[in-house]
Amino acid sequence: MLRKRRMVRSFGDGDVAPPVVERLLAAGLRGPSAGFTQGVDLLALQGPEETGRYWDAALPAGKRAGFPWPGLLRAPLLVVVLSSEEAYRRRYAEADKARSSSALGVPWWHVDAAFAALLLQLAAADAGLGALFFETHGVPALRAAFGIPSAFSPVGTVAIGHPAPDRPSSSVTARRRRGPEEAVHRGRW
Protein backbone atom coordinates (compact mmCIF):
# COMPACT_ATOMS: atom_id res chain seq x y z
CA MET A 1 0.00 0.00 0.00
CA LEU A 2 2.88 2.38 0.83
CA ARG A 3 4.49 1.69 -2.53
CA LYS A 4 1.18 2.23 -4.36
CA ARG A 5 0.87 5.80 -3.07
CA ARG A 6 1.63 8.31 -5.78
CA MET A 7 0.23 11.77 -6.26
CA VAL A 8 -2.54 11.48 -8.88
CA ARG A 9 -3.52 14.71 -10.63
CA SER A 10 -6.20 13.46 -13.01
CA PHE A 11 -9.41 11.64 -12.16
CA GLY A 12 -12.12 9.77 -14.04
CA ASP A 13 -15.84 10.45 -13.71
CA GLY A 14 -16.63 7.64 -11.24
CA ASP A 15 -17.85 8.49 -7.75
CA VAL A 16 -16.38 7.17 -4.52
CA ALA A 17 -19.01 4.95 -2.90
CA PRO A 18 -20.42 6.45 0.33
CA PRO A 19 -19.16 3.64 2.63
CA VAL A 20 -15.66 4.11 1.17
CA VAL A 21 -15.87 7.87 1.79
CA GLU A 22 -16.77 7.16 5.42
CA ARG A 23 -13.83 4.74 5.74
CA LEU A 24 -11.41 7.30 4.32
CA LEU A 25 -12.63 10.08 6.60
CA ALA A 26 -12.45 7.82 9.67
CA ALA A 27 -8.88 6.85 8.66
CA GLY A 28 -7.99 10.54 8.42
CA LEU A 29 -8.93 11.01 12.07
CA ARG A 30 -7.15 7.88 13.29
CA GLY A 31 -3.66 9.41 13.50
CA PRO A 32 -1.61 10.33 16.53
CA SER A 33 -2.10 13.76 18.02
CA ALA A 34 0.19 15.86 20.23
CA GLY A 35 -1.16 15.76 23.78
CA PHE A 36 -4.15 14.00 22.22
CA THR A 37 -5.36 17.50 21.40
CA GLN A 38 -7.12 16.26 18.24
CA GLY A 39 -7.23 19.79 16.91
CA VAL A 40 -7.61 18.63 13.32
CA ASP A 41 -10.94 18.80 11.48
CA LEU A 42 -11.80 17.71 7.96
CA LEU A 43 -14.09 19.53 5.53
CA ALA A 44 -15.40 16.84 3.16
CA LEU A 45 -16.85 18.01 -0.17
CA GLN A 46 -18.58 15.37 -2.26
CA GLY A 47 -20.08 15.53 -5.72
CA PRO A 48 -20.04 18.21 -8.41
CA GLU A 49 -22.09 20.82 -6.54
CA GLU A 50 -19.83 20.91 -3.47
CA THR A 51 -16.53 20.36 -5.29
CA GLY A 52 -17.63 22.92 -7.92
CA ARG A 53 -18.05 25.53 -5.18
CA TYR A 54 -14.57 24.63 -3.89
CA TRP A 55 -13.02 25.24 -7.32
CA ASP A 56 -15.01 28.45 -7.84
CA ALA A 57 -13.35 29.76 -4.66
CA ALA A 58 -9.88 28.21 -5.05
CA LEU A 59 -9.45 28.53 -8.80
CA PRO A 60 -11.88 31.15 -10.14
CA ALA A 61 -12.95 30.78 -13.77
CA GLY A 62 -10.54 33.49 -14.95
CA LYS A 63 -7.52 31.50 -13.74
CA ARG A 64 -8.68 28.14 -15.08
CA ALA A 65 -7.63 28.47 -18.72
CA GLY A 66 -3.92 27.80 -18.19
CA PHE A 67 -4.31 25.41 -15.27
CA PRO A 68 -1.90 22.51 -15.89
CA TRP A 69 -4.01 19.78 -14.22
CA PRO A 70 -7.59 20.09 -15.61
CA GLY A 71 -8.33 16.44 -14.65
CA LEU A 72 -7.88 17.40 -10.99
CA LEU A 73 -11.15 19.34 -11.16
CA ARG A 74 -13.02 16.07 -11.78
CA ALA A 75 -12.08 14.61 -8.36
CA PRO A 76 -15.38 13.46 -6.82
CA LEU A 77 -14.12 13.97 -3.27
CA LEU A 78 -12.12 16.86 -1.81
CA VAL A 79 -11.07 16.82 1.82
CA VAL A 80 -9.72 20.07 3.24
CA VAL A 81 -7.50 19.29 6.24
CA LEU A 82 -7.63 22.04 8.85
CA SER A 83 -6.08 22.49 12.26
CA SER A 84 -6.55 24.87 15.14
CA GLU A 85 -3.40 26.43 16.62
CA GLU A 86 -5.60 27.75 19.43
CA ALA A 87 -6.64 24.23 20.41
CA TYR A 88 -2.98 23.21 20.84
CA ARG A 89 -2.12 26.38 22.75
CA ARG A 90 -5.04 25.67 25.12
CA ARG A 91 -4.04 22.04 25.56
CA TYR A 92 -0.38 22.89 26.20
CA ALA A 93 -1.38 25.44 28.86
CA GLU A 94 -2.99 22.61 30.88
CA ALA A 95 -1.16 21.55 34.04
CA ASP A 96 0.39 18.33 32.70
CA LYS A 97 1.81 20.09 29.63
CA ALA A 98 2.73 23.52 31.02
CA ARG A 99 5.73 21.94 32.83
CA SER A 100 7.26 20.63 29.61
CA SER A 101 10.07 22.97 28.50
CA SER A 102 9.78 21.82 24.90
CA ALA A 103 6.06 22.55 24.74
CA LEU A 104 5.17 23.79 21.27
CA GLY A 105 8.79 24.16 20.16
CA VAL A 106 7.38 22.41 17.10
CA PRO A 107 4.02 23.62 15.71
CA TRP A 108 2.19 20.38 16.42
CA TRP A 109 -1.01 21.63 14.81
CA HIS A 110 0.76 21.40 11.42
CA VAL A 111 2.31 18.04 12.28
CA ASP A 112 -0.99 16.45 13.28
CA ALA A 113 -2.70 17.86 10.18
CA ALA A 114 0.05 16.36 8.01
CA PHE A 115 -0.48 12.97 9.69
CA ALA A 116 -4.20 13.22 8.90
CA ALA A 117 -3.52 14.16 5.27
CA LEU A 118 -1.12 11.23 4.84
CA LEU A 119 -3.59 8.79 6.39
CA LEU A 120 -6.23 9.98 3.91
CA GLN A 121 -3.81 9.32 1.05
CA LEU A 122 -2.82 5.89 2.34
CA ALA A 123 -6.46 4.91 2.95
CA ALA A 124 -7.23 6.03 -0.62
CA ALA A 125 -4.37 3.90 -2.00
CA ASP A 126 -5.63 0.98 0.10
CA ALA A 127 -9.09 1.40 -1.47
CA GLY A 128 -7.58 1.35 -4.98
CA LEU A 129 -8.14 5.10 -5.41
CA GLY A 130 -5.78 7.93 -6.32
CA ALA A 131 -5.16 11.07 -4.29
CA LEU A 132 -3.32 14.37 -4.47
CA PHE A 133 -2.31 16.52 -1.52
CA PHE A 134 -2.09 20.11 -2.68
CA GLU A 135 -1.95 23.64 -1.38
CA THR A 136 -5.30 25.15 -0.48
CA HIS A 137 -5.62 28.34 -2.51
CA GLY A 138 -8.27 31.04 -2.05
CA VAL A 139 -8.62 30.54 1.70
CA PRO A 140 -10.68 33.72 2.37
CA ALA A 141 -13.13 32.75 -0.40
CA LEU A 142 -13.29 29.18 0.93
CA ARG A 143 -13.98 30.44 4.46
CA ALA A 144 -16.90 32.45 3.12
CA ALA A 145 -18.22 29.69 0.85
CA PHE A 146 -18.14 26.91 3.46
CA GLY A 147 -18.38 28.75 6.80
CA ILE A 148 -14.91 27.71 7.98
CA PRO A 149 -14.40 29.20 11.46
CA SER A 150 -11.51 31.63 11.96
CA ALA A 151 -9.90 29.34 14.58
CA PHE A 152 -9.20 26.71 11.90
CA SER A 153 -6.70 27.08 9.06
CA PRO A 154 -6.25 24.72 6.12
CA VAL A 155 -2.94 22.91 5.86
CA GLY A 156 -3.85 21.51 2.46
CA THR A 157 -6.51 19.72 0.46
CA VAL A 158 -6.61 16.04 -0.49
CA ALA A 159 -8.37 15.27 -3.79
CA ILE A 160 -9.51 11.65 -4.05
CA GLY A 161 -11.02 9.64 -6.89
CA HIS A 162 -10.47 7.02 -9.56
CA PRO A 163 -7.14 7.64 -11.27
CA ALA A 164 -7.25 8.63 -14.96
CA PRO A 165 -4.23 8.71 -17.30
CA ASP A 166 -1.91 11.35 -15.93
CA ARG A 167 1.49 12.79 -16.62
CA PRO A 168 4.02 12.95 -13.80
CA SER A 169 4.84 16.36 -12.40
CA SER A 170 8.18 17.90 -13.33
CA SER A 171 9.09 17.72 -9.62
CA VAL A 172 9.29 13.94 -9.98
CA THR A 173 10.76 13.66 -13.48
CA ALA A 174 13.58 16.08 -12.65
CA ARG A 175 14.65 14.21 -9.49
CA ARG A 176 15.25 10.68 -8.32
CA ARG A 177 13.87 9.36 -5.05
CA ARG A 178 16.50 9.37 -2.27
CA GLY A 179 16.98 5.96 -0.72
CA PRO A 180 18.08 4.87 2.74
CA GLU A 181 21.76 4.69 1.69
CA GLU A 182 21.62 8.45 1.14
CA ALA A 183 19.09 9.77 3.63
CA VAL A 184 19.48 7.51 6.67
CA HIS A 185 22.39 8.19 9.03
CA ARG A 186 23.09 5.08 11.08
CA GLY A 187 24.71 5.43 14.47
CA ARG A 188 25.90 8.97 13.69
CA TRP A 189 25.46 11.56 10.92
Binding positions for ligand FMN, rule: CB under 6 A: 6-7, 9, 133-135, 169, 171-172
| Total residues found in the chain within this entry | 189
Among residues 101 and 171, whose Cβ is nearest to ligand FMN?
Answer: 171
Q: At its nearest, how many Å lie between ligand FMN and the CB of residue 16?
A: 20
Among residues 39 and 71, whose Cβ is nearest to ligand FMN?
Answer: 71
- Strand ranges inside 72-144, DSSP E: 77-83, 130-134
Q: At its nearest, how many Å lie between ligand FMN and the CB of residue 75?
A: 12
In angstroms, the CA 36 to CA 11 distance is 35
Cβ atoms of 53 and 143 within 8 Å: the answer is no
* Cβ neighbours around 159 below 10 Å, total: 28
Strand order of the β-sheet with 153-161 is 40-46, 77-83, 153-161, 130-134
Among residues 7 and 25, whose Cβ is nearest to ligand FMN?
Answer: 7
Q: At its nearest, how many Å lie between ligand FMN and the CB of residue 134?
A: 4
Among residues 35 and 154, whose Cβ is nearest to ligand FMN?
Answer: 154
Q: At its nearest, how many Å lie between ligand FMN and the CB of residue 116?
A: 13
Closest CA to 146 of 27, 52, 83: 52
H-run or E-run covering 161:
strand 153-161
Q: At its nearest, how many Å lie between ligand FMN and the CB of residue 107?
A: 14
Among residues 92 and 133, whose Cβ is nearest to ligand FMN?
Answer: 133
